[in-house]
Structure 1
Amino acid sequence: MTQAAGLPSTSTTPGPDGAAAGDGRVRVVLVDDHDMFRTGVRASLDERIEIVGEAADVPSAIEVVRRTRPAVVLLDVHLPGGSGGGGAEVARQCADLAPGVRFLALSVSDAAEDVVGVIRAGARGYVTKSISPTALCDAVVRVAGGDAVFSPRLAGFVLDAFGAVGGAGAAEQAAGDDELDRLTAREREVMRLIARGRSYREVAGELFISVKTVETHVSAVLRKLQLSSRHELTRWAAARRLL
């Protein structure tokens, strides 16, 4: 594996869309806002993978992906910057590079709304950060080859979201998707925890943000969803199987 020495990338020459490296390795851009996690992933990837670029936020991710044209982008769901759309925003902004450039979400989140949101934006798969190094490398190679790859328990979310056609259920799902699209990735994360009954302080501790920031996100969520209380939010999330 070739290690990228710094952000946003050590590569200056884009490869043909979807092409492997000259020695047959899969060219990958790694996108995550935590330096230590990126370091760990680099150390875990085997000889089938070549890291050609890295990014820690939405704008730099878009720039690196467009410049290096990797076969696969390993993409965190929750990223700072841009319009607040996180990894889904990166995938949407680079949608014109498909099918040569494919996105594989790699996130600590296993929430249905995160999975469905990034897949709707164009990602070819979604695996959680609990995945083993060998399984992650296998997933990258499979996505580069055109397969869709999901952690086992997440595949059901995708089937539920995209399997139903017609009728009132499909209309309700479409309405729910439109409402979720109004929220940023962080707002969706806060919404899910609050709807599960967490206190503001508990949410702040779990997400490593201040209580004031949690309050700001909750106010924004209630306003965007046109709800008036946490109880209404819980009912809204439960009706859409987001808990």
Structure 2
Amino acid sequence: MTGPEPITVLLADDQALLRAGFAMVIDSQSDLKVVEQAGNGQDAVAAAGAHRPDVVLMDIRMPIMDGLEATRRITEDPALSKTRVIVLTTFDTDEYALQALRAGASGFLLKDVLPESLLEAIRTVTAGGAVIAPTTTRRLLDATLREPHHRRSPDAEQQLRLDRLTNREREILLELATGDSNTEIAHRLFVSEATVKTHVGQVLAKLEVRDRVQAVVFAYETGLVA
């Protein structure tokens, strides 16, 4: 009897040595497999279309086509609706992480991420979660989204989506903005984890967003999170 198919990963980074390091870590796991590597965004988009990986680890700054445009093309392709993108960034210098989230990425990691955290992130987004929990991630979102030129009132379409939410679902959306897990949210609200998971699913469906990260960006951009 054969086991479940491994989670497939595409690596996109213009630094071959970094790709090799990530590939070594990923391929060391029985449930993960690197199916292709790309040195620029254009090749990453082509490889994603050819292999339809579960996850793309996407560098931001690459030649020919950067990771932002590559992320946008992958997440907007109906044939790749099950592919999740995690962008790689350097916290102190890369100001484009938020743009990547807006382009449809399911999260981002620092390039000096610990191997076990990298593996956990890949499994998390494959399972429908998002990489937004680390303190550095929350700090970057907070610092960037709270800048006045990023904040605005919801437009008519966004307001319609917000109006679909029940009071409890709005509360769950605010909890998601903390970056905490379903378990942590359940503990704080004195409900079961299954109940939180159900509410999260309803929030994503009503807001018409791909995952938790997109829901958090939506909450900040519409001013729901002050």
- TM-score using structure 1 length: 0.54
Q: 1:158 aligns with which of 136, 141, 162?
A: 141
Q: Which runs of 4+ in 1 moved over 3 A?
A: 108-112, 159-162
User: Which residue of 12, 17, 24 maps to 1:31?
Assistant: 12
Corresponding residue for 1:63? 46
Distance 1:112 1:34, change over 3 A: closer
Q: Is residue 142 from structure 1 mapped to residue 142 from structure 2 by the alignment?
A: no
Could you say which structure has the larger radius of gyration?
A: 1
Kept in 2, the 8 Å contact 1:74–1:104? The answer is yes
How many residue pairs are counted as aligned between the two chains? 146
C-alpha root-mean-square deviation of aligned residues, in Å?
2.5
- Aligned match for 1:87, one of 42, 67, 85: 67
CA spacing shift, 1:130–1:51, aligned 2, 3 Å: same
Which stretch of the first structure deviates more once superposed, 112-121 or 68-77?
112-121
Residue 109 of structure 2 aligns to a residue whose secondary structure is strand
Query: Who is 1:173 aligned against?
Result: 150
Per-residue CA distance 1:138-168 (angstroms, 9 max, x = gap): 0000011111103421223324555x7xxx9
Q: Which shows bigger deviation, 63-72 or 145-154?
A: 145-154
1:90-148, Cα deviation, whole Å (9 max, x unpaired): 01112224540110012334446221111111110101111111110000000111111
The 1:111/1:117 distance shift into structure 2, 3 A limit, reads: farther
Cα deviation 1:153-193 (Å, max 9, x = unaligned): 1223324555x7xxx94xx2269xxxxxxxxxxxxxxxxxx
Report the counterpart of residue 57 of structure 2 in structure 1: 74
- C-alpha separation between the residues in 1 aligned to 2:140 and 2:90? 16
Deviation at 1:48, TM superposition (A): 2.2
Task: Give unmatched runs, 5+ long, in structure 2.
Answer: 153-226
> Secondary structure, in 3 states, of the residue corresponding to 1:127?
strand
1:40 equivalent to 2:21? Answer yes
Opposite residue 103 of structure 1, the aligned amino acid is: V
Between the aligned residues of both structures, percent identity stands at: 26
Following the alignment from structure 2 to structure 1, what is the Cα–Cα distance between the partners of residues 151 and 106? 21
